[in-house]
Amino acid sequence: MRIRDLLSRVSGRRTGTTESGGNDEPFPGYIRADEKELIGRLHEHSQAELEEIEEYERSHGNRTRVLNKLHYLRQGEPLEGYDNLSVEEIAAALEDADLVTIKHVRAYERKFHNRPNVQEVVEVARRRREGDESPAGESGYHATSYGPSAADSRAPGPGMLAANKAIVTRYYGEVISSHDLDAIDRLLSDGFIFSGEIRGRSGQRAAVADLLAAFPDLQAETELILAEGDLVSTHQRWTGTHRGGAAGVEPTGRRIAFASTAVLRVHDGLITESWDEIDLTGLLAQLEDA
């Protein structure tokens, strides 16, 4: 889908050519297009189309949320011309690919296309290259306590640690700061656990939706991130405006800022578990009347 098609769907208007050529908008009224719907559709586009969108947005609307989303989506294709390759062409390209390239393809595919047949091809290539499939029934993952998975005694290399941190960074950037709830399906496991509670993707989506309803302009800035084994620890600074009910407190319209620290487990490219500690006392102090 080209940029004009996207924007016409967002605005609900038909696009047409203008003989005067004086209006360089992708379609009339682009700047007034609904941000939320526009952001939700950006992942459908190729890198070339995203570049076109970003160039226009920066020179016209320059909307922070749209640019934040574009920032997290923009990256080089893992294989030359990847967005236009068929399943068979991707499989052929991965025959001799190294593990770094295979994992780059896997992450890119999940992020942009999420095609089951391509993911199966990528997974076969990954397992063939790693040559270390676990015996049937041994997942190597235990959601009972902190600490690296007991069944995986290998020390992960720098590349894996960096990849795990990148997944967590994407979660806070795409889901929280860019308010893209659909990213939860791409970044969390189906059986996601939050502080011992099995929430799954749908439960976490509902929890984040409630948070964003209370703070519609919520942003999370990661100030520290560390990785060890299959665990990633982060410290964030959150800011937003209290526009909806939160923690039993009616909307105050106040700007708030609070901190949180979280430990997240990443398994096979997805966040499977999270433990969060939020400065709830500090947050309530800002919301309640003195």
pLDDT one-digit tens code per residue, 249-266? 688 888 989 899 999 999
Give the SS3 label for residue 259: strand
| 170 has pLDDT over 90 | yes
State what percent of residues in the chain have pLDDT above 90. Answer: 26
d(C-alpha 163, C-alpha 221), whole Å: 19
Look at residue 271 in the predicted model and tell me its pLDDT: 95
Across 88-97, 150-159, 248-257, least confident range? 150-159
pLDDT one-digit tens code per residue, 18-33? 333 345 765 556 667 7
Across 111-115, 125-129, 164-168, least confident range? 111-115
Across 14-28, 155-169, 178-192, 210-224, least confident range? 14-28
d(C-alpha 178, C-alpha 169), whole Å: 12
Look at residue 104 in the predicted model and tell me its pLDDT: 82
| 120 has pLDDT over 70 | yes
Give the SS3 label for residue 112: helix
With vertex at residue 55, the alpha carbon angle to CA 39 and CA 101, rounded to the nearest 5 degrees, is 75
Higher-pLDDT residue of 29, 206? 206
Asked if 67 and 36 count as a contact pair (C-beta separation under 8 A), the reply is no
Place of tokens 């997240």: 264
Look at residue 212 in the predicted model and tell me its pLDDT: 92
Does pTM top 0.75 for this prediction? no
Helix runs in the chain, H state only: 3-11, 35-41, 47-59, 64-73, 87-94, 99-112, 116-130, 158-170, 183-187, 200-214, 280-287
**Which of 23-32, 52-61, 189-198 has the highest mean predicted lDDT (pLDDT)?**
189-198
Domains defined for the chain, CATH in brackets: 3-73 (no CATH), 79-129 (no CATH), 148-290 (3.10.450.50)
State what percent of residues in the chain have pLDDT above 70. Answer: 74
In the structure, what pLDDT confidence band is assigned to residue 16 with cuts at 50, 70 and 90? Answer: very low
CB proximity list for 102: less than 8 A, separation 6 or greater = 94, 122, 125, 126, 129
